[in-house]
Every structure is written in C-alpha cells, then in structure tokens.
Structure 1
Amino acid sequence: MRNIRFLVVIYLICQNTLFAQNNPFYNQWEPSPKEGAFQMEDYIVWGGSVIKGEDGLYYMFASRWPKHLGMSAWVTNSEIVLAVADKPEGPFSFKKVVLPARGKQYWDGMMTHNPNIHYHDGKYILFYIGLNYEFDQPEKVGATRELYEEAWNHKRIGVAVADSPFGPWKRMDAPILQPRPGKWDGAIISNPAPVIHEDGSVLLIYKSAPVPYPARNQNRTMNFGVATASHYWGPYERKGEDNQIKLLPISSDVEDPYIWYDGSKYHMLAKCMNEAITGESGAGFLASSEDGLVWKTSENPIAYSRNITFSNGEKVNLPKLERPQVLIQNGQPSHVYFACRNPEGQIFNMVRPLRRNQ
C-alpha cells in the first residue's frame, strides 16, 4: 500500500511538473513589486514591451498621455516613450519620447500606442498602432465622445526600425494592412503581436472589429486575424480561412495577444473579455499553434488572474489587467508586463515575475 501511495505521489508530481512546462504561467507567479515597473507622475502609462539590450540593460517601450486628460484620451493623445532599467523588475526610468506626434500629413501623425519591440540582425524593430484625425489634438479635459469615436476608427499598425533603442527611428509611410469593409475586420487593424523568424520573415496576429463607430456601439465583437510577410517591412498578406485564426476548442471575445516561437511551436498569451475560456472575466489564457493559424488551448488554459499578490503581501483584485507583454529570456518567459488599474483608480504599468525555476 505504501508503495502504491508513493507511486501516486510521484505520478502527481510528474504531472504537475509536465503541466508547468506546458503552461509556464499557471500558478507560477512571484509577488509583483508594489511600486510597479514604470510610472510617471503627470502621465498615464499604459502597457510596456521590454527587451534586453546588448549592453545588459532592459529597455521598455510604453505608451503615455497627460494624466489630467483622463483615461479615454489615449486614442487622441498617446505617444510611445522609452524607459530603461538595470533589471527586468525595474523600476524603469524615463529617457525620451521615441514616436511623438509628427503632423496630420502622416497616417500615424497624431497618436502612437501599444508598442511591441523586437531585435533582429542588428536592428530594433518596433511594431505599434498609430492614427491620424482632422481635428486639433485635445489639450483640455472633456473631449467629446464624437472625437473619441472618430479617432478610434483610424487605428492601424505600423513598423519603425532603429539601430539603437534611442533611435533615430525610421517609420513606414503607410500602415501594413487596411480594414476590409463588410468583413470581420472591417473597422480597424490594431494591437500587433508579431514573431520575427531567424530569416526575417514575420507572422503577425492582429485584432479587429467588424464595424466602426457609431455602429460599434451596438456590435462590440473583437477577433484575431493573421498575416505574414517575408520581411518585417512587408508587404503583409492575410492568411487562413476568412483570414481569421481558429481558437479551439472555445472561440470567444479576445484581445491583447502576445506571441512567441520556441523553434517548433507558436505560443500565445492573451486576455479573454468574458468567462468563457478561463472562468474569470478579463483573465488571461495560453494557447499554442503549429502554423500560427489554428490555435489550441489545453484542458486548463488559465495563464493569469486579476487577483494579484504584491511584494508587501497585499492581495488585490484589479479591475483592469491588460496588454500582457512577455519578456523571453533563455528561451522561456521570465516576466510579463501589464497595464493595470487598481481599485483606487490608479493606472500604471506593472510587472509580474515568474518563478526562476522555469
């Protein structure tokens, strides 16, 4: 009997170890620094994509906009900035604006947002969303809903390239894809999640919606599509059945994907906007794919919860935990950076370290 019990215990340990290897996020979170990874006193800081430089420093590309304008001003006033730290947990220190507003003559001339940074063949490659609009950039609180909706409808994905995290950054003259009116991605092209392969080719997951504002007020569906390119400059071509990814076994409203490639499979960390995949609205799930087109979740796809433990022992349920951006080190996820809002209404960038035995 003792031998049987011993074997059962060993079996369970092996199963848990195997599951942890397949899902490096489930129950693998270390406490998060209470002060967050990157904050600025007069700005709302949103998201944050981090890369380790050749100098050993950690470079974060994040979105910011004036705090006094409020949360919704991201769509009109956001700009992408650079912050630096000597360790992945931070704290990160602001260094410069890397993609500022550059004028209405450009497709991304009035706003840049949601950066995703990569390094390939001596170049830093920054994927982001940008947009343009005809009105003046708001400077006071209380921009009308119409301004928000007009700007939101113009979201597109661009690519910028530099030899250094500090720039100068060369931007594209046009977005990499345009919406297709009447299709599932008829409204916007947003939230880039690319993998740059060793040969420079790209597999890109993007987010879209079927209809722009004002129709979006009645139809808020979001889904993922996929496109590929032989080089990160493009051109990009949509792939897959109806150019959408298949998410099996459950398809639901999802957003904020981050993907990486381990040499044999693609992996995706993303947020589900309801309880369908994880059982918790706004929590994260893990999926994998052989080809980037058909994605499958495991029997337990839960990656993260909105219930957070901070380094001081405080446990908090965050109303918002969005834009997961993964830092891959030695081929494995080591940290995930989030945009979050706490119960007191404070908005900041936070980091969630993973256990180092992964």
Structure 2
Amino acid sequence: MSRTRKLALATALSCLALPLALPGAAAAQSASAPAVATEAVPTLGPKPFIGYFKPMPRARLSTTAWGAKEVGPRDPRNGLEDAAMARWNYWDGQILKGDDGKYRMFASRWDQALGHKAWGQSLGVTAISDTLYGPYRDLGLVWPDNQGGLGHNVTALKMHDGRYAVVVSETRGGDVFVSDSIDGPWTQLGTISLDQSRFQLVKTPGDVALRDTPTATPAKPANFSVMLRSDGAYQIVPRSGQILISRTGILGPYTVMGDSVYRGLDGIPQRDMRAFEDPVVWYSGGWHHIVVNQWRERRAYHLISRDGITGWRVQGLAYEPGADFIRYANGARNHWNKLERPGVVIENGHVVAMTFAVVDTPKDDQTGDNGHGSKIIVVPFDGAAMDRDLAGL
C-alpha cells in the first residue's frame, strides 16, 4: 500500500472514533439494533467526506432538551424542531437563501402524538431564520389548499428562469410547485414525467431495471433529489440511484439514463442494495456529487463523477451516527440514532453546511407522546477545502 493510501486510510479511521456504549442502553436496544458496517471505505484524496465537517456553531448547550441521553448535550436552537415535542415531528429540510439575506427551510411535519410511523401523513411546510444555523420558525403549510398540504420527501431549488420550485415525492407522484417569490404563494406546475425508452425506473438499487421497454411500469417516485445542471438540464437522483435527465424543463420528461450507479461500484457494499436511500446530488469543484445513505447499516457514502452520469467513483465515507463529527468547541458530541434525508447548502459554489433529519431513538420506539421524535439539524461543512483537495483527481 502506498504512503498516500495509508494516510488516507488512517484519516478515515480517525474520523470513525465511536463513543463508548452505555451497557444499559446497549441491552435495551439489542433486540432492534441494526447491522453496522465494519469494513473500511476507500478514500480518494487526502481524507474522506466526513473529515470536512466543521465544529457546530458556538451555543449554550442544553441537557434538558427532549431526546435520548445518548444524543448528548445539544443546541435546541439549531435547525428546526418542536422544542417541547408537543406537536410536530419534522423531516426533510432543504435550505435556500432569499434575496433579503434570510434563510428558508422547506420541510415536512406530522403530528408527533401519532409516532414516527405516521410520516405518510406529512404536510409540506416552510420555515425562516435570520441565520443559516437557526433557529428556524415554522411559517406553516406551503400549499394548504392542495390536498390539504400533503407532502413528504420535500426538496427545493431555484430554477433557470429565476422562479423557485418545490418538488415532492414518496407521498405524491413527483409534484412540482412553483412561485416567483421564495415566500410564495405556491401553485402546482404539474407532475414530473419519465422517458423509459432506455431503462425502467425501479424502486431501489436492489431492483434490476428493464432495458428498452418504454411501457414498463415505473416505480413510484421517491427520495427525489433535484439539481440544476450547468448545461441547462435538470437532473434527478431517486432512491434507486439511477440518473434521470431532462433537457425540456423541470417537469421533464426525464430520460432514465441507466441502472443504479451503485451497482457493481467498488467501495459500495453489494449485499443489501435495497437498503440504500435518501440520495442528495449537487455540483461543486468540477465534480458532480452524490451522498447516499444505507439505512440498515447506518452508514452513508460519497460518490463523485465528472459528468454526473457516468464514471462514478466512491470518494469516501460520508457520515455515520456513531462517528464524532457533530461536535462542539467545548468537546461535546452529539450522536443521533439515525441521520437521514441529507441536504446541502451551497454558497459561492461550495457546500457550507449539510442538513439532516434526525431521530433520537430507533423509529419503532417513537410511538408518540413519549419525549422522543425527529428534528432537522444544520451542520457546518468545509466544502471549499474539499473542492480544492479533489480538484486534481
């Protein structure tokens, strides 16, 4: 092994320092504990993606905020949450900056009293903050008069023509809402359509896409991550990890360019492909990027490609709940049970923060009105340094 590879591996391992588990907590969760990946993830460049997370902003940390003790002292003003865990669970959480300098978060929420499994009743909401890291104030439903505000897997972007778009999948069929203003009002532009002349859209990376069968039944839209490409096209990466390209606008039709880019990729475990979900796609530093989560093993991977369609490579470990990457200057660490629905905040061409929907206990333990739930956190990220490091690959 070359000295460079040894250094990269050592850096990757240093990012995975795991906290000591409390015996009582381990015993309590042993029956439902998910599989944990232990194999090393290859690293391209001097360090993996997880090594570029920065310390959380200085804040007064609370030891009485809702949540499991394993989470640790935390800042309840970071991101978006129901501070009393009395009404809402929050999910998703794409952030856009308005022309007024304030930040809007596009998220979903549902009644916490119904437990986590009620996520299918999510409603799309928007929230606002004077600062990137929060606190965000819930402004209410984004489209209250359209199916009662129904929306999950909510994401948002600014389109080529200057309008804003919010895209919803999972509980809706890829519906797109648009507005001239970041604050609405929002109207439904239409629903995303597909061109399956090359490949079928499938549900998960573990499902094999049919080729040259345009009449094949496509999978239900889910986990759509949408980006505006520099060549004028729109690109979607769904749960399946396939690449969808539209050169005729945000509604498509989107050509399904191939099978899942995770299939057969060195550095991506191939044993449980149906457990990959929640991709986020973006462009920075001359690379197209995907971060994708393997929910059963609770580990996420960072992939890069020059054209965003072919030639994908694993750059390194993106994150995992047991690693000490959500950290504060005073030495405190946060370890949420799950980190899902990642999003990126890009400023001046580089990622400056990532958002996560987090839960403090296993989802099955969140039955409602028991002091446990979900919120959205915002974690600083040094995307400028990462882009410099990866420029010469």
Report the residue type matching 1:124 in the other structure: Y
1:306-348 CA distances to partner (integer Å, 9 max, x unpaired)? 1354546443432211001010111111111111111473311
Q: Quick one: distance in 2 between partners of 1:320 and 1:271? A: 10
- Within 5 Å, which residues of 2 pair with 1:99-178? 99-100=143-144, 102-103=146-147, 111-120=150-159, 121-129=161-169, 131=171, 155-177=172-194
Q: Note the 1:168-317 alignment, pairs <5 A.
A: 168-177=185-194, 184=209, 186-198=218-230, 200-207=232-239, 223-241=240-258, 243-247=259-263, 248-249=265-266, 250=268, 251=270, 252=273, 253-262=275-284, 264-274=286-296, 281-294=297-310, 295-298=312-315, 301-307=316-322, 308=324, 309-311=326-328, 313-317=331-335
1:348 alignment partner AA: K
Contact 2:112–2:373, Cα closer than 8 Å, also in 1: no
Alpha-carbon separation, structure 1, partners of 2:81 and 2:249:
31
Deviation by residue 1:252-275 (Cα, 9 ceiling, x = unmatched): 44211111113732111121234x
- Which residues of structure 1 form unaligned runs of 5+? 1-7, 104-108, 132-154, 208-222, 275-280
CA distance in 1, matches of 2:127, 2:354: 16
Q: Give the TM-score of the pair, scaled to structure 1.
A: 0.72
User: Quick one: distance in 2 between partners of 1:21 and 1:236?
Assistant: 39
Q: Is the 8 A contact 1:244 1:293 kept in 2?
A: no
The alignment status of 1:45 with 2:45, answered yes or no, reads no
Root-mean-square deviation (CA), in Å? Answer: 3.3
Q: How far does residue 357 in structure 1 lie from its aligned partner after superposition?
A: 7.0
Aligned to 1:333: 351
Contact preservation (8 Å) 1:321, 1:341: yes
Q: Deviations over 1:192-234 (max 9, x none)?
A: 1122124642011112xxxxxxxxxxxxxxx322211114333
Distance 1:126 1:231 in 2: 18
- State the secondary structure of the residue aligned to 1:166: coil
Of 64, 75, 81, the match for 2:125: 81
User: Compared with structure 1, are the counterparts of its residues 226 and 80 closer, same or farther at alpha carbon in structure 2 (3 Å cutoff)?
Assistant: same
What residue identity is the alignment partner of 2:343? Answer: Q
The CA deviation at 1:297 is: 0.3
Q: CA deviation at 1:355?
A: 4.4
CA deviation string 1:140-193 (max 9, x = no partner): xxxxxxxxxxxxxxx522221111122121213434349679964854211111
Q: Distance in 2 between matches of 1:357 and 1:290?
A: 17
335 and 97 in structure 1: CA distance in 2 versus 1, 3 angstrom threshold: same
Contact (CA 8 Å) 2:281, 2:291: kept in 1 or not?
A: yes
Structure 2: gaps of 5 or more residues: 12-42, 58-73, 196-200, 210-216, 362-370, 386-393
Task: Tell me: CA distance 1:21–1:245, structure 2 relative to 1, closer, same or farther (3 Å).
Answer: same
| Partners of 2:142 and 2:149 within 8 A in 1 | no
Change (3 A) 1:175 1:303: same
Question: 2:182 is paired with a residue of what secondary structure?
Answer: coil
TM-score, normalized by length of structure 2? 0.66
CA 1:310–1:99 in 2, change beyond 3 Å: closer, same or farther? Answer: farther
Which residue of the partner structure matches residue 62 of structure 1? 107
- Give the count of matched residue pairs: 295
Q: Secondary structure of 1:26's match?
A: helix
Higher RCO by CA contacts (8 Å cutoff, separation 6 or greater) = 2
Q: Percent identity?
A: 25
CA distance in 2, matches of 1:334, 1:244: 28
Structure 2 CA distance for aligned equivalents of residues 357 and 237 of structure 1 = 31
Q: Structure 1 residues 55, 88: CA separation in 2 closer, same or farther (over 3 Å shift)?
A: same
Q: 1:98 aligns with which of 133, 142, 147?
A: 142
Cα offset, 1:23, TM superposition: 4.8
Which has the higher mean CA deviation after the structures are superposed, 155-164 or 301-310?
A: 301-310
Alignment-derived partner of residue 19 in structure 2: none
> More deviation in 182-191 or 120-129?
182-191
Of residues 326, 331, 342 in structure 1, which corresponds to 2:360? 342
C-alpha contact (below 8 Å) 1:239/1:293 kept by paired residues: no
2:49–2:317 Cα contact (<8 Å) kept: no
1:315-326 equivalent positions in 2, closer than 5 A = 315-326=333-344
